[in-house]
Amino acid sequence: MGSKGRNPFLIGGTLLLLAILIGLTWGNLSSTNLLLITGLKLTGTLLSGLLLWQSLDSDNPFLQSLCQVGQGNNCNGILQSSAAKLTPWLTWSDIGFLYFSGGLLALLFGLFSADMGVISILSVLSILALPYTLYSVYYQKFVAKQWCKLCMSVQVVLWLEAAWVMINYPNLSLNFSLPTMAVLILAFLIPTLIWVLVKTPMVQATQVFGLRRELQKVKFNEEYIKMVFQNQRQMPPIFTDMRTVQRGNPNATHTLTVVTNRLCGPCARIHGEINHLIEKNQQIKAQFVFLGPNKGMQIAAKFLEASASQLQTVMDSWYHDNRQDAEKWLKQYPFEPNADHPKQFQLYARWCELASVNATPTVFINGILLPKAFQIKDLGSIVSVLNQKNANVPIT
């Protein structure tokens, strides 16, 4: 499972764990003050988590909507600066996330075990964090001369935490005990170990995702599309008396010509992609030319004789498993044989010879061979790019 597949489970599992911990300690959260500090720790964890996300995926549209609003706001500029890093691996964003998440766990563990000494130590840590907030504000205001909204949101949470401590513990004193220290060490160790384990894979996964995103930009660039398609061979015209199986909107602007063999595995795999393409894009229709051994052509004959309303059902029933018993399948669709079929199969073979088709599936879009750089699923995006640009590209 890739990182994108793991992320929902990781986030969902973390939220579920927090919900369970809060539920277990709810009876000890009856005090408004305790609810307030728990809410601040949770808010800080979420905001610092967004900072980590921003540092990993700065091009994310959601994060850009949070950070890049108005002049003088530049989260990326702050987070990517040397001042944001303690070491090449460890950043202030890491420290902030571990501070809040570890503090939240320590608070919940302390409440669950009725160890109020945890709160006194967390309160001291809140006061000790204040100098960092001054450094952060100074750097953004006078050095970078840019602001990071998420960074400032975290500073506000730290100030509110410190205010909570000063109001509720004006005569602050440390309350050390072995159980208290054990709770604190465990609480801060859990997110630290998890982050040490997942940070590097997440960074690598994000870099790969970013590379893929940049490749997609190049792949669907108008000039690149034009260059690639110009170098592809054109198919011969469909013979006047040659019947092809037609799918999709008959008035579509673009025509996908698919040379397929009913008995080949790759042909079955792209069948679903073609279905999805023509269902989602009314500007593209598909026509099928059949090639293959005699048994395959008997199946093609069933496609040729199917009515427009039956065609998709008939084709889907075969291509969902083209290794099924052909004789049994043929009996399910008792179309009358047509004397024209042998002629059509000869025309298919002759046309494929002229088109230099030596493998199936072979796909043409508007008469031009689909380049290897593109797949069926890309055609919707290609058409959209060309329509937006009104490009004079050979496939239009």
Please give the average per-residue pLDDT across 377-384, as a whole number: 84
More confident residue, 191 or 228: 191
What confidence category does residue 164 fall into, taking pLDDT thresholds of 50, 70 and 90?
A: very high
**CATH code, domain with 264:** 3.40.30.10
* Cβ neighbours of residue 269 closer than 8 Å, sequence gap 6 or more: none
User: At which residue do the structure tokens 């921003």 appear?
Assistant: 54
Mean pLDDT taken over the chain: 83
Query: Looking at the 3D structure of the chain, how many domains does it have?
Result: 2
Residues across the chain: 396
For residue range 291-330, what is the model confidence (pLDDT) as tens digits?
A: 877 766 888 888 988 888 889 889 998 888 877 888 888 8
Specify if 226 maps to a domain. no
- To the nearest whole percent, how much of the chain has pLDDT over 70? 87
**One domain for residues 289 and 364:** yes
**One domain for residues 201 and 257:** no
Taking residue 80's Cβ as centre, other Cβ atoms within 10 Å add up to 14
Task: Tell me the H-state helices in the chain.
Answer: 3-25, 32-56, 61-67, 75-79, 92-112, 117-128, 130-138, 149-168, 178-219, 222-230, 265-280, 294-305, 308-319, 326-332, 341-354, 379-389
Distance CA 315, CA 40 (A): 59
Range of the domain at 295: 234-389
In this prediction, residue 392 carries a pLDDT of: 47
- Measuring CA to CA, which residue among 107, 100, 92, 123 is closest to residue 41? 100
Q: Where is mean pLDDT largest: 9-13, 19-23, 328-332, 382-386?
A: 328-332
pTM given for the model: 0.57
Given a contact cutoff of 8 angstroms between Cβ atoms, the answer to whether 75 and 54 are in contact is yes
**CATH code, domain with 189:** 1.20.1440.130
Distance CA 273, CA 127 (A): 59
Which of 179, 194, 219 is at the close of a domain?
219
Task: Report the DSSP pairing between strands 284-290 and 245-248.
Answer: antiparallel
Half-sphere exposure of 73 (CA within 13 A, CB side): 14
**One domain for residues 189 and 40:** yes
Reply yes or no on whether the pLDDT at 14 is more than 90: no
* Cβ neighbours of residue 110 closer than 8 Å, sequence gap 6 or more: 116, 117, 118, 119, 180, 183
Specify if 191 maps to a domain. yes
What confidence category does residue 73 fall into, taking pLDDT thresholds of 50, 70 and 90?
A: confident
Please give the average per-residue pLDDT across 266-293, as a whole number: 89
Given a contact cutoff of 8 angstroms between Cβ atoms, the answer to whether 285 and 250 are in contact is yes
Taking residue 114's Cβ as centre, other Cβ atoms within 10 Å add up to 8
What confidence category does residue 391 fall into, taking pLDDT thresholds of 50, 70 and 90?
A: very low
**One domain for residues 242 and 195:** no
In this prediction, residue 28 carries a pLDDT of: 52
In this prediction, residue 92 carries a pLDDT of: 94
Specify if 395 maps to a domain. no
- To the nearest whole percent, how much of the chain has pLDDT over 90? 36
More confident residue, 253 or 226: 253
What confidence category does residue 339 fall into, taking pLDDT thresholds of 50, 70 and 90?
A: confident
More confident residue, 210 or 100: 100
Specify if 229 maps to a domain. no
Which of 193, 219, 245 is at the close of a domain?
219
